[in-house]
Amino acid sequence: MTSRDARYDILFEPVRIGPVTARNRFFQVPHCNGMGHRDPSALAAMRGMKAEGGWAVIATEETEIHHSSEVAPSVEGRIWDDRDLPAHALVTDAIHAHGSLAAIELVHNGMSANNVYTRIPPMGPSHLPTTRSQYPIQSRRMDRRDIADLRRWHSQAVKRSVQAGYDLVYVYAGHNLSTLQHFLSPRYNDRTDEYGGSLENRARLLCEVLEDTLEAVDGRAGVACRIAVDELIGDRGFTRDDMVGLMEMLGEHPDLWDFMVGAWSDDSVTSRFGPEAQSEGIIRGLKQLTSKPVVGVGRFTSPDTMVRMVRQGVLDFIGAARPSIADPFLPKKIEEGRMDEIRECIGCNICVASDNTITPIRCTQNPSMGEEWRRGWHPELIRPKHGDEKVLVIGGGPAGLEAAMSAGRRGYDVVLVEASRELGGRVAREARLPGFAEWIRVLDYRRTQLERLKNVEFFFESAMPAEEILTYGFDYIAVATGATWRRDGIGYWHSRAVEIDGEMEILTPDDVMNGVRPRSGRVVIFDDDHFYMGGALAELLVKEGCSVALVTPEPEVSSWTHMTMEQHRIQGRLLNLGVEINTGRTVDRATSDGLMLRCVYTGEEQVVECDSAVFVTSRVPNEEIYLGLVGMRAAWADAGLKSVRTVGDALSPGTIAAAVWDGRRFAEDLGRAEENAPFPRDIAVV
């Protein structure tokens, strides 16, 4: 084992937080996960894995304190009453087992909760619509009795938190999700009583809840305050100047400050729109206004940036949500000098999408995320091989790389063949799109690990026919040949090919990413994929001088990117670049001089002239090799071949995260008999 570089010693100093001490400066801040109160066993295993990986403090997701404020259908934490304590004890026990501190983020969502489960009218500082517009519901103005109730509910939740074993209890006023923040913000607080108007009045409830919490913990746990230091909406909201004034009033109240900026989409910007340490400029200087330790986030992946944050007095703790998801063992790898083994976050926000789709958390870089309990996967360990068998992986894209690496780690002899001259497949191509450079980390990490495995061989520019493959004596074959973007317009809207005049040039994302450019003039992109590709290609082509129009059947561009919290940024960028946007329209047919569009609401037709079109619709698995092998199944036994299966996009085109996960699944399943056991899930006991 290599030793730690002395430059990073400062990151492993213990830090006092009130009555408790964190063993180092690595702090997994609260983050949602799509499991919450529904999947307590899986949640506990995920948090425990981070403790094993060296994070000194590990926090829950936002945890509802009372049924008057719940966020169904989203699945977050709950500590409504004592019946919730056993689930929380699972979490704290898993964290404590590895010597880390357990923190809980308590929340009363107020006017950011629609309460569609309990059907109790939401409440906040003012009579206003709720901040989530999915339901036609308004929040009611809280009176003094409501405020007293809120304080009592919070204190009760604090006492339950200590009983459940938490070492640090959060008072939460951030992300535009908390009643305490809503009172702070003039955007929502129009009160004229002692809880409205001046900063001192707007901060009164936060002050009272902090004091209540300190009294309730009674020295048995630390108290943290997570707060939006600037709502990023100017004087309409809470500003950094307000934060400076607040620190003058409350700077010494909590045992720790957790600073964040704006709403969740501002705090967790994708790498496409924000660099590492993006919020540093706003947070810098606030630590000097308190003697208490400070934590903040910035998608920190560079140990050098982490050290700079501490040495320059920006932060005391290196806060992380997404980097702790991508690599739960990041602290240990820095501590042990294994820098080149860090699985760096790529900032794609597929983890965020899990929470927004109310499904267990997943990660593009870390396929074990969310599978620690369900499938017993570990981010660093994998069970050994069951026999001396050989594995062939065909294709060096994300699924093939993960399959080869994981099978190699199990101890199998692995041969990876790639038809081109480079590894990476779609990752290598997509990382060249504007703003996607950090996605190359998916390739970089796996290539580095594969080069260390003596039992894995690479062969490039190798396109073996099925007959030849059977001559090499492989026991298992993974066909990870990816998928190809369609040129015929079939996608979500069209299940049959679009009528296309032969004179119209139709390109696909594969064409553009491989260097082909529209022949001339005006280009129309038909985006029926709705994730990032259509918008990314529009940005690329317009920056290269093309006149670009984007057509989509959805009411906005790249509509699925709401799940990754970047849709508003994508559409804003395209508008600023001068891209013409046509929403609510599909391509009906392609003529020699343009596209015939059809309104998806009225059926009205509209001609858009263009010289070329790029169809971003759907993909077809590249399964020729697989089908060839299946067609020779009768010869498998004589060749010693036990199984062949498609992996990743060659099985079912999807996200890069899905391809990586399927590569891991292939390796995990090697030598495992088919089982009919029920799928692992938490079962509610009545």
CATH at 419: 3.40.50.720
Distant-in-sequence, close-in-space partners of 640: CB < 8 Å, separation ≥ 6: 473, 474, 475
What's the CATH number where 580 sits?
Answer: 3.50.50.60
Grade residue 462 by pLDDT with cuts at 50, 70 and 90: confident
Domain assignment of residue 568, yes or no: yes
Here the contacts of 72-75 (C-beta below 8 Å, separation 24 or greater) are 72/114, 72/115, 72/116, 72/117, 73/116, 73/117, 73/358, 74/32, 74/36, 74/355, 74/358, 75/34, 75/35, 75/36, 75/37, 75/38, 75/39, 75/358
pLDDT for 686 equals 67
Mean per-residue pLDDT, 417-443:
97
**Whole-number percent of the chain with pLDDT over 90:** 94
* Per-residue tokens: 124: 């906040």
613 contact partners, CB below 8 Å, separation of at least 6: 504, 505, 506, 507, 523, 524, 525, 526, 587, 590, 595
Residue 608 and residue 651 share a domain: no
CB 462 within 8 A of CB 435: no
pLDDT confidence bin for 135, thresholds 50/70/90: confident
For strands 413-418 and 390-394, give the pairing: parallel
Domain ranges, residue 402: 390-482+622-669
Instruction: Mark whether 595 and 635 lie in a shared domain.
Output: no
**Average pLDDT value for residue range 180-197:** 98
Same domain, 113 and 191: yes
Q: What percent of the chain has pLDDT over 70?
A: 99
pLDDT of residue 465: 86
Give percent helix, percent strand, percent coil of the chain, each to the nearest 5.
Answer: 35, 20, 45
**512 and 647 fall within a common domain:** no
364 neighbors 660 (Cβ within 8 angstroms) = yes
How far apart (Å, rounded) are the C-alpha atoms in residues 252 and 37? 33
pLDDT in tens, 85-129: 999 999 999 999 999 999 999 999 999 999 999 999 999 999 999
Same domain, residue pair 347 and 408: no
372 located within any domain: no
- Copy the structure tokens of residue 654: 């999807």
- State how far the Cα of 272 lies from the Cα of 344, in Å rounded to an integer: 15
**In the predicted structure, residue 429 carries a pLDDT above the cut 70:** yes
Residue 326 included in any domain: yes
Query: Are both 46 and 79 inside the same structural domain?
Result: yes
Whether 184 shows a pLDDT value over 70: the answer reads yes
Q: What is the pLDDT of residue 681?
A: 87
376-386 average pLDDT score: 96
Judging by beta carbons within 10 Å of its beta carbon (0-12, 13-18, 19+), is residue 173 exposed, middle or buried? buried
Provide φ and ψ at 381, rounded to 5°: -120, 155
Collapse the DSSP code of 309 into the 3-class scheme (helix H, G, I; strand E, B; otherwise coil) and give the result: helix
Q: How confident is the model at residue 134 (pLDDT cuts 50, 70, 90)?
A: confident
Contact status, residue 59 vs residue 30, Cβ threshold 8 Å: yes
Which of the listed residues 579, 601, 619 is the one where a domain comes to its end?
Answer: 619
Residues 6+ away with beta carbon under 8 Å from 666: 399, 403, 406, 407, 478, 645, 647
**How far is the C-alpha of 205 from the C-alpha of 195, rounded, in Å?**
7
pLDDT tens-digit readout, 593-639:
999 999 999 999 999 999 999 999 999 999 999 999 999 999 999 99
Q: Is 442 left (phi over 0), alpha (psi -120 to 50) or beta?
A: alpha
| Cross-strand pairs, 645 | 478
Question: Has residue 310 been placed in a domain?
Answer: yes
Residue 644 has pLDDT above 70, yes or no: yes
Nearest residue to 206 (alpha-carbon basis) of 231, 224, 219: 224
End-to-end CA distance of the chain: 49
Instruction: Give yes or no: residues 595 and 610 share one domain.
Output: yes
* CATH code of the domain containing 293: 3.20.20.70
Q: Are residues 577 and 656 in the same domain?
A: no
pLDDT band at 1 (very low <50, low <70, confident <90, very high): low
What would the pLDDT profile of 286-321 be if each residue is shown by its tens digit?
999 999 999 999 999 999 999 999 999 999 999 999
| Of 315, 301, 629, nearest in space to 466 by CA | 629
Q: Are residue 46 and residue 180 in the same domain, yes or no?
A: yes
- Residue listed under structure tokens 């001192």: 200
Virtual torsion, Cα 256, 262, 268, 269, nearest 10 deg: -150
What integer pLDDT is reported at residue 423 of this predicted model? 97
Mean of pLDDT values over 473-493? 97
Work out how many domains the chain is built from and give that number.
Answer: 3
Do 128 and 269 lie in a common domain? yes
Residues 104 and 144 in one domain: yes
User: What pLDDT score was predicted for residue 675?
Assistant: 62
Question: Where does 96-229 show beta strands of DSSP type E?
Answer: 101-107, 123-124, 128-129, 138-141, 168-173, 222-228
From the list 31, 32, 327, 626, the catalytic residue is 32
pLDDT band for 253, please (50, 70, 90 cuts): very high
Active site residue 267: yes
Sheet containing strand 499-500, edge to edge, reads 499-500, 585-590, 594-599, 605-609
Q: Is 662 among the catalytic positions?
A: no
DSSP 495-515: SSPPEE-TTSEEE-HHHHHTT
The whole-angstrom separation of Cα 295 and Cα 287 is 9
Query: What is the Cα gyration radius of the chain?
Result: 27
| pLDDT reading at 678 higher than 80 | no
Give the other-Cβ count within 10 Å of 363's Cβ.
25
Q: What is the pLDDT of residue 683?
A: 84
Cβ atoms of residues 407 and 387 within 8 Å: no
Q: Does the residue 379 lie in any domain?
A: no
pLDDT at 132 (0 to 100):
82
- Is residue 684 domain-resident? no
Integer Cα distance of 667 and 442 in angstroms: 18
**Marked catalytic residue, from 31, 37, 108, 175:** 175
Residue 256 has pLDDT above 80, yes or no: yes
Q: Active-site residue among 84, 230, 258, 267?
A: 267
Instruction: Collapse the DSSP code of 555 into the 3-class scheme (helix H, G, I; strand E, B; otherwise coil) and give the result.
Output: coil
Binned at pLDDT 50, 70 and 90, residue 285 comes out as very high
Spatial distance between the Cα atoms of 547 and 241, rounded to a whole number of angstroms:
43
Measured CA to CA, the distance from residue 501 to residue 433 in angstroms comes to 29
Which of the following is catalytic: 39, 154, 170, 172?
A: 172
Question: Cα(473)–Cα(349) distance, rounded to whole angstroms?
Answer: 41
Give the pLDDT mean for 24-39.
97
DSSP code of residue 338: -
User: How far is it, in rounded angstroms, from Cα 139 to Cα 124?
Assistant: 6
Burial class (CB in 10 A: 0-12, 13-18, 19+), 516: middle
Backbone angles phi, psi at 584, to 5 degrees: 65, 25
Looking at the structure, tell me whether residues 181 and 59 fall in a common domain.
Answer: yes
CA-CA distances (angstroms) from residue 341 to 227, 338, 365, 417? 33, 6, 12, 24
pLDDT of residue 674: 63
Position 221 in a domain: yes
pTM: predicted TM-score of the whole model, two decimal places: 0.96
State the pLDDT at residue 211: 98
Active site residue 378: no
